[in-house]
Structure 1
Amino acid sequence: MFTNVALRTVLKSSAGVLRDFGCALKPWSCSSALIAAPGGASAVAGSFALHPPVRHYARGAKTKTKKTVPQSQLSDLPPTMLRMDYAAVPLVQTTDDLVKRLLSLELACHSDKLQLKKEQLIAKVQRDESDRNSVEVKVAILTARIRNYQEHLQKHHKDKANKRRMLMAIDTRKKMLKNLRLVRYDAFEKVCEQLGITYTFPPEYYRRVTRRWLAKKALCIKVFKEVQKRKEEVRLKMKQSLASTAEEAAKTKATSL
């Protein structure tokens, strides 16, 4: 009898202490109700009930974002337009719709569309109808090629070979525009306006100042000044020698007279 009373007293005191310190823990909560045991029996009152784990509570709701498809430079070409090889054939205009569809851009390959886009850009900047080799025409061809590379790399960004070709074409076009700007500024403005090119000036040369570079610069300045000093001495000696020879020639001429 005494042992049962002592056991109840110990259980009550331990349950009170755990109730005071256990309520501060978030995953646990003090429960005075009976917890059902796995075997169907009831547990002791004052025990702890474990809440079901809340997973990914700090993550926001996933929203499906649609990838923006870049607009192609060939999107303005109507699919009913004939290919460049058949546009000048008069017989094509009298054929039925099925043949026209086969010869149109709707079923054409990418190279045919790109060739037609090149011709459109060339027509904007060429000097006359027979101009095919001027700087403006070359810039238009490079522009169509560069934009085609850019569209390809947006879909296949790991294609290093085409990225290298694109950078080489950009450098070539930049050199052409630089020369055209120095020679014919009005043609340069027309090309940039018609083709939608934004010409940016190259950055100024900048070198990080280091102690080694400062020491080398000071040494070069010192050597330059020493060389200039020696050259000045040589010039002075030459002037003195010329003056002395002129005096001797004058004296000899005076004595001869």
Structure 2
Amino acid sequence: MAVADITAHLRRTIISFRNTKRFDTICRINQVRAVSSLAMSNSAASGRSGHQVGDRAPSSTSMLPRSPMHFSRGLASRAHMKYNKRKKEPVDRFGGLDPAQPRLGFEKVKELETANENVKKLFSLDFGTGNDLHNMRRKLSQDSVRDKPDEKDDLAVKIATITEHIRALAPHVENNKKDSVNKVRMLNAIDRRRKMLKYLRKRNYERFERLLVELNLTWSPPPEFYRRKTRRSMEKKATVQEAYAKRSLALKEFETRWRQEQLLEIAHLKEELGKELTEEEQSLLTKSREETAV
């Protein structure tokens, strides 16, 4: 039998034995007997050696007999250390919410105003579940985009609800890579929100812009069509880009040359009419005469 199998069997045996009431009772009885016998021996020794009441006695907790439970925990943890998951970074579960405020549905209860502080804390977000925090964030985001107080079927309110649902699923999907069900739910919610934003953008552009600011979203319009990437299409795209770059460079050179010819013609006309020439025109005339002389 392998060492890992023996360790696992020993761990299961110790855990099953540790969970029995008889084992716990025996450990407590042994600890009580050890403490009582140690106290009696300390009192007798102090009487013989002349210790007074105010003198410090040796610690009794360090001399207690250890049960097999303490040794088994260290063995099992070391044996299964490689299977332990890595430590995750702590996440702020409140996310900007006040932990002292009451949960959703208890904010209008008059009895909580005169209740004890411990009672108020029991009905606050500090003692609430993750669902309570999600409902509170959803309500706050809905109130921020709602134009009327009791508006529920508005498109902006639906977008705010879907946004909070996506933000609640995002950290879970990031920490649990194999949870494909929630990943598909999040992607479907993102697609549904994109369609709603597209419709709202066409119908009411001002409210669309205000909604993006209030929910801290960014809008990137989708492409007009989707093309499958193949080797032929990628080679064609590279050829078109190279041809466009060469064409742009040739056009730029032609424009520069055409401008210089126009300036040279203007300089010849000015010279014939006896008008004053600029520095650029004078340099062009000098350069053209040198080229013709050569």
Instruction: Sort the TM-score into its range (normalised by shorter chain).
Output: 0.5 to 0.7
Q: Flag the 1:203–1:156 CA change in 2: closer, same or farther, 3 A.
A: same
Between structures 1 and 2, the one with greater helix share: 2
C-alpha distance in structure 1 between counterparts of 2:226 and 2:158, whole Å: 32
Q: Paired residue for 1:120? A: 140
- 8 Å CA contact retained: 1:70, 1:151: no
C-alpha distance in structure 2 between counterparts of 1:108 and 1:187, whole Å: 34
Q: Paired residue for 1:157? A: 177
Q: Is 1:94 matched with 2:114? A: yes
C-alpha distance in structure 2 between counterparts of 1:163 and 1:210, whole Å: 28
User: Structure 2: 5+ residue runs without aligned partners?
Assistant: 1-86, 234-294
Quick one: which of 194, 200, 206 aligns to 2:220?
200
- What RMSD, in angstroms, separates the aligned Cα atoms of the two structures? 2.5
C-alpha distance in structure 1 between counterparts of 2:193 and 2:228, whole Å: 30
C-alpha distance in structure 1 between counterparts of 2:197 and 2:227, whole Å: 27
Q: Which amino acid aligns with 1:126?
A: R
- Normalising to structure 1: TM-score of the pair? 0.53
Matched-pair identity in %: 35
Structure 1 position 204, deviation (Å): 3.8
Q: Secondary structure of the residue that 2:113 maps to in structure 1?
A: helix
Structure 1 position 92, deviation (Å): 0.8
- 8 Å CA contact retained: 1:122, 1:141: yes
Larger Rg: 1
C-alpha distance in structure 1 between counterparts of 2:209 and 2:158, whole Å: 15
C-alpha distance in structure 2 between counterparts of 1:158 and 1:169, whole Å: 19
C-alpha distance in structure 2 between counterparts of 1:153 and 1:209, whole Å: 29
Quick one: which of 91, 97, 100 aligns to 1:80?
100
Q: Flag the 1:211–1:81 CA change in 2: closer, same or farther, 3 A.
A: closer
Q: Paired residue for 1:178? A: 198
Paired residues, number? 148
- 8 Å CA contact retained: 1:121, 1:195: yes
- 8 Å CA contact retained: 1:149, 1:162: yes
Q: What pairs with 1:27-46 in structure 2 (closer than 5 Å)?
A: none
Q: Flag the 1:210–1:89 CA change in 2: closer, same or farther, 3 A.
A: closer
Q: Secondary structure of the residue that 1:111 maps to in structure 2?
A: helix
User: Structure 1: 5+ residue runs without aligned partners?
Assistant: 1-65, 214-257
Quick one: which of 112, 123, 129 aligns to 1:109?
129
Structure 1 position 144, deviation (Å): 0.3
Structure 1 position 130, deviation (Å): 0.9
Q: Flag the 1:94–1:188 CA change in 2: closer, same or farther, 3 A.
A: same
Structure 1 position 118, deviation (Å): 0.3
C-alpha distance in structure 2 between counterparts of 1:181 and 1:189, whole Å: 8
C-alpha distance in structure 1 between counterparts of 2:88 and 2:155, whole Å: 38
Q: Secondary structure of the residue that 1:94 maps to in structure 2?
A: coil
Q: Which amino acid aligns with 1:124?
A: S
Structure 1 position 210, deviation (Å): 8.1
Q: Flag the 1:208–1:197 CA change in 2: closer, same or farther, 3 A.
A: closer
Structure 1 position 206, deviation (Å): 4.7
C-alpha distance in structure 1 between counterparts of 2:193 and 2:141, whole Å: 15
Q: What pairs with 1:4-83 in structure 2 (closer than 5 Å)?
A: 74-83=94-103
Which consecutive aligned stretches of 4+ in structure 1 deviate over 6 angstroms post-superposition?
209-213
C-alpha distance in structure 1 between counterparts of 2:92 and 2:117, whole Å: 29
Cα distance per residue 1:60-111 (max 9 Å; x no partner): xxxxxx9655666x41011101001100112211100010010001110000
- 8 Å CA contact retained: 1:83, 1:105: yes
Q: Paired residue for 2:159? A: 139
- Normalising to structure 2: TM-score of the pair? 0.47
C-alpha distance in structure 2 between counterparts of 1:83 and 1:162, whole Å: 26
Q: Which amino acid aligns with 1:167?
A: L
C-alpha distance in structure 1 between counterparts of 2:230 and 2:164, whole Å: 44
Q: Flag the 1:102–1:205 CA change in 2: closer, same or farther, 3 A.
A: same
